[in-house]
């Protein structure tokens, strides 16, 4: 560990405890002050008074702070305003206290006025343990300087520990700095249709809309959205050809000739009607299946021709 001199107000105010790992840095004063003054000083020159999130951080902090053979020791950023309140860490509002955090017979709240906490850094059995103290007593301050800032993570929340700094990405983003949108699998156009995408072709929150070519019917959802997990909100739809009803040919006494360019009785199919000799056609000679799945006209009918015979009276 290196202990370079860091300026607080002047070169004798604060010392820095830094490591080569990425994460926050600790800084301690070389003169004593009350807990309230220590908090103010840490907030003025660094980020805040030190907060401890787990036993590992507690042990690490003690390992790098200079040993002191007796009081005063170091203020840490846990406090409470009243004897019946819960001990709370400043800045984070965490209430973490380890099973072995307190020194023997502590906290004892001597005279019901001990609402601040110091950490022992001696070489005895209580090394690294905590002791509740009157906030008006003077002890050394321990501050931390956060490395996270507004530019640390593009689309996420910066998190740091004593040994690491990392980003908790917002839903739909990934990467060391949450700089990359989560992609969904590429979409292809459905057969006999097309798609249009908005907000990016396949990135988080982008939406793709599907339409079918004339004469084809969309089967499925007309739009899908790329979700935060990289999964589309639904499967790609398909385009099915429009089908017309099968023709009822019972009224035809003749021939029906149909052409089916795509599929039987579907879009663009056409049928021609011819009546047998002695019958005449009533209706359209040709009908077609249109793009809506309807015939352009009803099936015609073949009816018998009527022969009118006129007899002249003989005179």
> Are both 25 and 124 inside the same structural domain?
yes
Instruction: Give the separation between CA 105 and CA 246, rounded to whole angstroms.
Output: 94
> Are both 16 and 140 inside the same structural domain?
yes
With a cut of 50, say whether residue 153 has pLDDT above it: yes
In a domain, 173, yes or no: no
159 contacts 166 by C-beta, under 8 angstroms: yes
In a domain, 298, yes or no: yes
Percent helix, strand and coil across the chain, each to the nearest 5? 10, 35, 55
> Are both 225 and 262 inside the same structural domain?
no
In a domain, 155, yes or no: no
With a cut of 50, say whether residue 73 has pLDDT above it: yes
> Are both 226 and 275 inside the same structural domain?
no
In a domain, 289, yes or no: yes
Kindly report the average pLDDT of the chain as a whole number. Answer: 87
In a domain, 68, yes or no: yes
Among candidate residues 112, 145, 178, the one where a domain is terminated: 145
Confidence of residue 7 (pLDDT cuts 50, 70, 90): very low
With a cut of 70, say whether residue 18 has pLDDT above it: no
72 contacts 116 by C-beta, under 8 angstroms: no
> Are both 202 and 260 inside the same structural domain?
no
Per residue in 246-281, pLDDT (tens digit) is 998 887 889 999 999 999 999 999 999 999 999 999
66 contacts 58 by C-beta, under 8 angstroms: no
With a cut of 50, say whether residue 21 has pLDDT above it: no
> Are both 252 and 262 inside the same structural domain?
yes
> Are both 28 and 71 inside the same structural domain?
yes
In a domain, 225, yes or no: yes
With a cut of 70, say whether residue 6 has pLDDT above it: no
Contacts of 145 (CB under 8 A, 6+ apart): 24, 25, 26, 27, 46, 47
Q: How far is CA 247 from the centre of its chain?
A: 54
> Are both 107 and 68 inside the same structural domain?
yes
In a domain, 162, yes or no: no
> Are both 81 and 112 inside the same structural domain?
yes
For the record, the structure tokens of 298 come out as 């009803």
Task: State how many domains the chain has.
Answer: 3
> Are both 300 and 232 inside the same structural domain?
no
Average pLDDT over residues 149-167: 85
> Are both 32 and 122 inside the same structural domain?
yes
Among candidate residues 88, 118, 145, the one where a domain is terminated: 145
> Are both 9 and 140 inside the same structural domain?
yes
For 19, the domain range is: 5-145
Instruction: Give the separation between CA 80 and CA 114, rounded to whole angstroms.
Output: 9
Contacts of 108 (CB under 8 A, 6+ apart): 114, 132
pLDDT at 307: 67
In a domain, 165, yes or no: no
CATH code of 129's domain:
3.10.100.10
With a cut of 90, say whether residue 71 has pLDDT above it: no
CATH code of 265's domain:
2.10.70.10
pTM higher than 0.75: no
pLDDT at 22: 58
Among candidate residues 113, 128, 145, the one where a domain is terminated: 145
């Amino acid at each position: 560990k290196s202990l370079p001199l860091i300026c607080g107000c002047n070169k004798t105010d604060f010392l820095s405890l830094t490591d080569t790992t990425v994460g926050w840095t600790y800084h301690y004063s070389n003169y004593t002050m009350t807990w309230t003054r220590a908090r103010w000083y840490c907030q003025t020159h660094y980020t805040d008074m030190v907060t401890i999130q787990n036993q590992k951080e507690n042990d690490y902090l003690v390992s790098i702070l200079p040993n002191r053979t007796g009081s005063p020791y170091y203020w840490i950023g846990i406090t409470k305003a009243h004897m019946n309140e819960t001990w709370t860490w400043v800045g984070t509002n965490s209430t973490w206290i380890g099973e072995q955090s307190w020194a023997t017979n502590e906290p004892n709240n001597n005279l019901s006025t001990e609402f601040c906490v110091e950490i022992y850094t001696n070489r005895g059995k209580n090394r690294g343990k905590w002791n509740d103290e009157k906030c008006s007593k003077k002890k050394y301050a321990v501050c931390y300087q956060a490395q996270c800032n507004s530019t640390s993570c593009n689309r996420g929340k910066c998190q740091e520990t004593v040994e690491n700094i990392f980003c908790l990405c917002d839903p739909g983003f990934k990467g060391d700095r949450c700089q990359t949108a989560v992609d969904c699998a590429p979409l292809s156009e459905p057969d006999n249709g097309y798609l249009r995408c908005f907000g990016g072709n396949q990135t988080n929150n982008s939406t793709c809309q599907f339409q079918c070519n004339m004469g084809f019917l969309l089967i499925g959802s007309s739009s899908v959205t790329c979700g935060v997990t990289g999964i589309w909100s639904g499967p790609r739809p398909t385009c099915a050809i429009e089908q017309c009803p099968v023709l009822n040919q019972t009224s035809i006494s003749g021939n029906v000739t149909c052409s089916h360019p795509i599929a039987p009785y579907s879009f663009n199919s056409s049928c021609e009607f011819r009546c047998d000799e002695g019958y005449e056609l009533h209706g359209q000679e040709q009908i077609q299946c249109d793009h809506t799945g309807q015939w352009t006209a009803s099936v015609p009918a073949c009816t018998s021709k009527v022969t009118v015979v006129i007899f002249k009276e003989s005179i």
